[in-house]
Amino acid sequence: MKKFGLIVLGSIAGIVALANLGSMLGLALSALLVYAGMHYYLKGGSTFRKILWVGVGIFGLLTAIANVPGFFGILAIAGLWIVIRKWKQQPLVMTSSSNASSSDPFTNFEKQWNELNNN
């Protein structure tokens, strides 16, 4: 019964993601416009250029508002990812990058030394 529920949820999430593919593309393009507007606003020298890039950024924000269904597509892709992980029975593990690898050279040396001695 659990597999049937995963199949149903995965199918629904896949259909929602495919249905909102255009909105997600529009959302990505509007994010690109907002990023370009902010980037070139900070680099702009004259007042006219700054006003122009603020206009581009505002246009990007307005198109992002128009592409709100793209957020549902992003949520559906995240849900599909979770369903696939549950299907394969892999644990959902979230680690921070600071804990994943130690920058202490002595810790890394000791770990490698133990690996060499155990083999």
Q: What is the pLDDT of residues 53-66, one digit of tens each?
A: 999 999 999 999 99
Q: For residue 53, what are its two tokens?
A: 């890039």
Mean pLDDT of 9-17: 91
Which is higher by pLDDT, 19 or 1? 19
pTM of the complete model: 0.63
Residue 74 inside a domain? The answer is yes
Distances (CA, A) of 66 to 23, 59, 63: 9, 11, 5
Print the domain residue range for 20. Answer: 2-92
Q: What torsion do the CA atoms of 87, 89, 91, 92 make, to the nearest 10 degrees?
A: 0
Contact 34, 61 (CB under 8 A): yes
Residue 39 inside a domain? The answer is yes
Residue 44 inside a domain? The answer is yes
What is the tally of structural domains in the chain? 1
Residue 100 inside a domain? The answer is no
Residue 112 inside a domain? The answer is no
Residue 88 inside a domain? The answer is yes
Residue 38 inside a domain? The answer is yes
Residue 103 inside a domain? The answer is no
